[in-house]
Amino acid sequence: MADGIRMSVPVVQRYFTWLFGQNTAVLSSHLGPLQSGSGTCIVRWASKKAGSSSRNRGGKAPGQRLGKKVKEGEYVRANQILVRQKFSFRWLPGQFVLAGYRRTLNAQVDGQVYFTKQKWQPAPEDDWSKNVAPMLPDERMEKKFVNVRPAPQIGKFRLVTQI
């Protein structure tokens, strides 16, 4: 009874008349047991909000397609995207590689891509290097670099007199 509204029978009759019009068959079928009872009845309404929720509207954005775009040993052209990354440098720019907008790594020259790792030595006077760095495993103390080995310049030069 907590989720209903207490209403008198004439109010319910007016509501059903408004709802169904003057169709007495529908009206009498719904109000038949109510007319011979007490002066009040309970009308039950929906206890939940209809429609969609106002929360959890996110999650519909497409993925950002971050990560490596080329494989080791693949031939790339100048200004081709090698790696897309967003917040921090997971891969660092090496030889003939530039960091662009949102740390996107691009090739400077035509050539082959190769990846290298170097052990990272933090500054010795830093508190982080004294307290945290010794407790990290060796793979956390490595930096990954993306490099491009330029293609040989065979037959792509001109003499000054030819220009």
Summarize pLDDT for 100-126 with one digit per residue, the tens.
988 999 999 999 999 999 988 888 888
66 against 35, higher pLDDT: 66
Assess whether pLDDT exceeds 50 at residue 89.
Answer: yes
Pairing of strands 97-99, 40-44: unpaired
- Non-local CB neighbours of 95 within 8 Å, separated by 6+ positions: 147, 148, 149
DSSP 8-state secondary structure symbol assigned to residue 108: S
38-73 tens-digit pLDDT: 555 566 666 766 666 666 667 778 888 999 999 999
pLDDT of residue 68: 92
- Non-local CB neighbours of 4 within 8 Å, separated by 6+ positions: 42, 43, 44, 45
pLDDT of residue 1: 47
CA 105 to chain centre: 22
Q: Is the pTM of this model over 0.85?
A: no
Assess whether pLDDT exceeds 70 at residue 4.
Answer: no
Q: Which band of pLDDT confidence, cut at 50, 70 and 90, is reported for residue 86? A: confident
Overall average pLDDT of the 68-83 stretch = 95
Angle, nearest 10°, between helix axes 24-35 and 9-20? 160
